[in-house]
Structure 1
Amino acid sequence: MALAQRLDLRQAQTLVMTPQLQQAIKLLQLSNIELSDFVDREIEQNPLLERDSGPSDGGSDPVGDGAGGEAPGGLDGPGGMEANGLSIDGLNGRDDGPGLAPSDGRTRDTVEMTSSDTMASSSEAPLDTDFENVYGDDRFSDGSDGGSEVYGSYGERGGRSGFEDDDSNLEATLTSEKNLRDHLTEQLKIDLPDLGDQLIGLALIDMLDEAGWLVGFDAQALAEQLGCGADRVERVLAACQRFDPPGIFARSLKECLAIQLREKNRLDPAMATLLDNLELLAARNLPAIMKVCGVDAEDVADMVADIRKLNPKPALAFDHTPAQLVTPDILMRANPGGGWLIDLNPDTLPRVLVNHRYFARISDSAKSKADKEYLSERFQSANWLVKSLHQRATTILKVASEIIRQQDAFFIHGVSHLRPLILRDIAEAIGMHESTVSRVTTNKFMATPRGVFELKYFFTSAIQGADGQASHSAEAVRHRIKTMIDAEKPDDVLSDDKLVEILRAEGIDIARRTVAKYREAMKIPSSVQRRRAKMSRM
């Protein structure tokens, strides 16, 4: 067959991911804090964007020329800006609808509720995503629970309350607690007056891990690094091991416990032998301990009691770093009239303004084609960001509302009533794709009356019921296993086979290996280890 060149015209349908669509998808999977950072970067690059700092006092001239000019960062007035607050009041079910002016008289529209004329001028193509048809009544009713309702909203109800004086700084009045390095350095200067020894001691302090141990310590390597003898390093280390807190600078668990026992004058030969056989203590093998140490049961009980009083991680006593709390993206609370109320967290939700007056003013002064194209592109980008933020907010509220509706029993009765749920269930209920639901539930946390949970927590696999009909949530089954183990008595420890038998009697068809997998995931020892541990405490 001969090869030839020719021109053909063909029609084909393809899915094109425009930059705007990619941005909308990216915003979906960001948490509110990550979104705030993204918005800050956009504000730096786009002169038509600025943050909404709250209601304007209307008192100052932002430009300073006395003519009432407008500029980025200026105060909004008639025909001024758009802001990203959705006009839905979750407390009373009121929806002001798109394009309506705020009740305070300002003409600043909500950023997501932009007028159709503005959006048509900023972008010719609609946003083709799963965000379609999300603009509805903010009241979501679940007919299956006899009238339980979920209200969703986000708006301008956030902000600080209480002290607003910028000059008063409560943190400036707080005293910082002494950290471990300062505590050890003070002792080093007193106990080791030689400057060379202090240099070695400081090097040892820098090598401590978070528990206060010298893991993988090599005296010869440190001596070569500091240009001294290994015996001098060992001598300084021995001196540092007498510092407070007891057990610091240990190279292993055995040495950490031995240092503390030596200070208490309890490091006798029997105790030293026990430290050499800590694996027997971990296994609660009391007969083997008595045989190895050559002591009776009463002495073993005393030795074990002494070890329990020790601190295997002495450095943690100086760990004053506050725990990093999770900032929820969604706030949920009970509705006094029944059902639940949900809001996006206003403290972390960024609010953006598009300054139309400034755009109109500088557009008139733009002469070159490049300037006009730049302003048009920036204006289109700003309006698209506004629309994307609006769609992100309404989509999150819609997904969260459906999760609450599906897991209503969990919020009322607890984890034992958590029902099996997968992404497809939510996607089919709200008419979106599973990938959209997956992005919405990624890195999003919801503050509920039962605590703060990641949205992914509510999606659990199903375990078949014994009757072949009902199914049970895997998380609820894990909770049931832990509850039974916590309630067991020393003389009646439940084996995995016994747990399977009890669960099947309760209508849960589960295999023994599944019970063992759940138990190990919760870091619960085997029945033999639990029996030994309970008997040792009697």
Structure 2
Amino acid sequence: MQSSASLLQRQKQSMVASPQLIESIRLLQLAHTELHQFVEREIEKNPLLESASNDGRPFDDVSISGADQPIGPGANAVEGPTGAGSPERLGQWKSLGNTTNNPPGNGPSLDEFATLAETLHDHVARQIALTAFTPQERLIAGQLAADLEDTGYVRANLLELAESLNVREAVVERVLGTLQQFDPPGVFARSLRECLEIQLRQRNRLDPAMAALVAHLEMLARRDFEALKQHCGVDEEDLLDMMHEIRALDPKPGNRFQSGASETIIPDVWVTPSPQGGWQIELDPATLPKLLINQSYYAEVSRQTAQNSKDQAFLDECLQNANWLIRSLDQRAKTIVKVAAEIVRQQDAFLEHGVAHLRPLNLRTVADAIGVHESTVSRVTSNKYMLTPRGVFELKYFFTVAIASCQGGDAHSAEAVRHRIKAIIAAESPGDVLSDEDIAVRLKETGIDVARRTVTKYREAMNIPSSVQRRREMRLCF
């Protein structure tokens, strides 16, 4: 068999991404702080770009009036003037505009969501978001959380805080009492004594003898055991047991978390109940840079550089880049609203009834529903947050794997299953502590087909002790 060389012509189609297309894609995944920094750099190097004043109105507005009516790319859209930074309405079923229940610029209060990923502040903020506070109490909780130290202690002056918020000191104390029940045990204490008392109270071990021991920590530091036995009214054996319990407590409960200064998370999307029913979705105006193109300056400079082709070419490039940036920002805003609206449509039951009703959801489902690529949804949901009546959540929170139903019905989301496991364990009694196998059986009785090893994995991820440890702790408490 002979081999020979030959020349062949073939046609091949391929997509080459332009630098501007690559930059537009990158804009999708930027968090709002990074986006503002990018826009500021563009303004500095482009003489035609100016920052428009923010009038406080939402950039995009979507009203969801039915659970089975999709928001798709074919919906009507009203385009505002190019570069005017004016609001646009996209994919609406009914236009709500600015109702009296949601006047312009009066978005939900965000002060309480002070957090940084993987820190104590993040852990606390999530618990605040899931606690049934009134709006006033939520504001107070946010202020106390802002004063929380990395060690877990809070140094706020309750009287001064009450006066600054124009509320009674008793209300601040009540909110602090609720915060002191948060995890980790001992958080929001104002002193070492209070920190230990909180932990002992949660273990049901703050009896009079133990309270006397905690009240005389200086004697314990001096190892003045005779005086401590007198104050506590116990013998030496009991005192040693009490000291052993004290040593098992955590004097700095916040230290188990990564330290770091707190920063405020500003949700990109607001979800609020609509007066007409369903949900109203808005982009937070504070997260949206608004730009203007100075057409007068362009015309004036063009007249002066008419004879200089190099200068005119530079000016034309600036105009082209400015128009591209404004179009890209508009498209970014529209895409975020489309994705958020579809998430809300899919997770309507969660917003109504809580985490137990969170549905399984993947990127492809949302992408297919709104007519974009799966990677676009992935970029949009990165580093973006949604403020809902149930708290602030990263958009990626709503995407969870499916756990099969053993009764042939709808699948369950992994997050909902974790919530169910936590609820089952919380309802245990000293005589009925369940093993992971027992929990798996309980879940199957309610239609959730989950293996024992999956229960173990979810339990450990939630930092819940094993059944042996829980049984031992309950014996000590009861």
> Which TM-score band applies after superposition, normalised by the shorter structure?
0.5 to 0.7
Preserved contact between residue 157 and residue 346 of structure 1 (Cα < 8 Å): no
Give secondary structure in 1 for the equivalent of 2:287: coil
2:79 equivalent among 98, 101, 111? 98
- Residue 425 of structure 2 corresponds to 485
Which residue identity does 2:273 align to in structure 1?
A
Task: Give the TM-score normalised by the residue count of structure 1.
Answer: 0.58
- Residue 287 of structure 1 corresponds to none
Question: In the aligned structure 2, how far is the partner of 1:151 from the partner of 1:430?
Answer: 23
2:298 equivalent among 359, 364, 369? 359
Preserved contact between residue 360 and residue 400 of structure 2 (Cα < 8 Å): yes
Give secondary structure in 2 for the equivalent of 1:347: helix
> Is 1:14 aligned to 2:14, yes or no?
yes
Instruction: State how many pairs are aligned.
Output: 353
Question: In the aligned structure 1, how far is the partner of 2:255 from the partner of 2:436?
Answer: 38
- Residue 335 of structure 1 corresponds to 274
- Residue 413 of structure 2 corresponds to 473
Which residue identity does 2:38 align to in structure 1?
F
Q: How far is the alpha carbon of 1:137 from its aligned partner?
A: 3.4
Question: In the aligned structure 1, how far is the partner of 2:472 from the partner of 2:382?
Answer: 42
Q: How far is the alpha carbon of 1:267 from its aligned partner?
A: 7.2
| Amino-acid identity (%) | 45
Give structure 2 stretches of 5+ with no counterpart: 66-75, 109-146, 151-190, 194-213, 229-235
Per-residue deviation, residues 331-359 of structure 1 (Å, max 9, x unmatched): 11111110111111112211111111111
Question: In the aligned structure 1, how far is the partner of 2:400 from the partner of 2:276?
Answer: 30
2:456 equivalent among 505, 509, 516? 516
Q: How far is the alpha carbon of 1:30 from its aligned partner?
A: 0.8
Give secondary structure in 2 for the equivalent of 1:453: strand
Question: In the aligned structure 1, how far is the partner of 2:98 from the partner of 2:386?
Answer: 13
- Residue 426 of structure 1 corresponds to 366
Preserved contact between residue 356 and residue 416 of structure 2 (Cα < 8 Å): yes
Within a 5 Å distance, the mapping from 1:41-80 to structure 2 comes to 41-54=41-54
Question: In the aligned structure 2, how far is the partner of 1:85 from the partner of 1:407?
Answer: 23
* Residues 89, 409 of structure 1: alpha-carbon distance in 2 compared, 3 angstrom cutoff: closer
Which residue identity does 2:318 align to in structure 1?
R
Which residue identity does 2:419 align to in structure 1?
H
* Residues 425, 411 of structure 1: alpha-carbon distance in 2 compared, 3 angstrom cutoff: same
Give structure 1 stretches of 5+ with no counterpart: 56-83, 102-107, 114-134, 141-148, 162-176, 181-243, 247-256, 272-294
Per-residue deviation, residues 221-253 of structure 1 (Å, max 9, x unmatched): xxxxxxxxxxxxxxxxxxxxxxx989xxxxxxx
1:385 equivalent among 325, 335, 339? 325
* Residues 151, 16 of structure 1: alpha-carbon distance in 2 compared, 3 angstrom cutoff: farther
2:312 equivalent among 364, 368, 372? 372
Which residue identity does 1:50 align to in structure 2?
E
Within a 5 Å distance, the mapping from 1:120-519 to structure 2 comes to 137-139=91-93, 157-158=104-105, 264-266=221-223, 298-299=238-239, 301-307=241-247, 311-312=251-252, 323-366=262-305, 367-519=307-459
Give secondary structure in 2 for the equivalent of 1:13: coil
Question: In the aligned structure 2, how far is the partner of 1:497 from the partner of 1:160?
Answer: 46
Q: How far is the alpha carbon of 1:88 from its aligned partner?
A: 5.5
Which residue identity does 1:346 align to in structure 2?
P
Task: Give the TM-score normalised by the residue count of structure 2.
Answer: 0.64
Q: How far is the alpha carbon of 1:306 from its aligned partner?
A: 3.7
* Residues 492, 159 of structure 1: alpha-carbon distance in 2 compared, 3 angstrom cutoff: closer
Question: In the aligned structure 1, how far is the partner of 2:96 from the partner of 2:399?
Answer: 19
Question: In the aligned structure 1, how far is the partner of 2:381 from the partner of 2:329?
Answer: 16
**Farther off after superposition, 463-472 or 478-487:** 463-472
Give secondary structure in 1 for the equivalent of 2:428: coil
* Residues 354, 89 of structure 1: alpha-carbon distance in 2 compared, 3 angstrom cutoff: farther
Preserved contact between residue 158 and residue 347 of structure 1 (Cα < 8 Å): no
* Residues 310, 406 of structure 1: alpha-carbon distance in 2 compared, 3 angstrom cutoff: closer
Preserved contact between residue 409 and residue 418 of structure 1 (Cα < 8 Å): yes
* Residues 482, 157 of structure 1: alpha-carbon distance in 2 compared, 3 angstrom cutoff: same
* Residues 46, 314 of structure 1: alpha-carbon distance in 2 compared, 3 angstrom cutoff: closer
Question: In the aligned structure 2, how far is the partner of 1:41 from the partner of 1:466?
Answer: 55
Which residue identity does 2:395 align to in structure 1?
L
Whichever of the two has the greater Rg, that structure is: 1
* Residues 375, 112 of structure 1: alpha-carbon distance in 2 compared, 3 angstrom cutoff: farther
Per-residue deviation, residues 133-156 of structure 1 (Å, max 9, x unmatched): xx953338xxxxxxxx99999xx9
> Is 1:532 aligned to 2:472, yes or no?
yes
Q: How far is the alpha carbon of 1:389 from its aligned partner?
A: 0.3
Which residue identity does 2:51 align to in structure 1?
R
Which residue identity does 1:12 align to in structure 2?
K
Preserved contact between residue 90 and residue 334 of structure 2 (Cα < 8 Å): no
- Residue 68 of structure 1 corresponds to none
Question: In the aligned structure 1, how far is the partner of 2:337 from the partner of 2:98?
Answer: 6
Give secondary structure in 2 for the equivalent of 1:139: coil
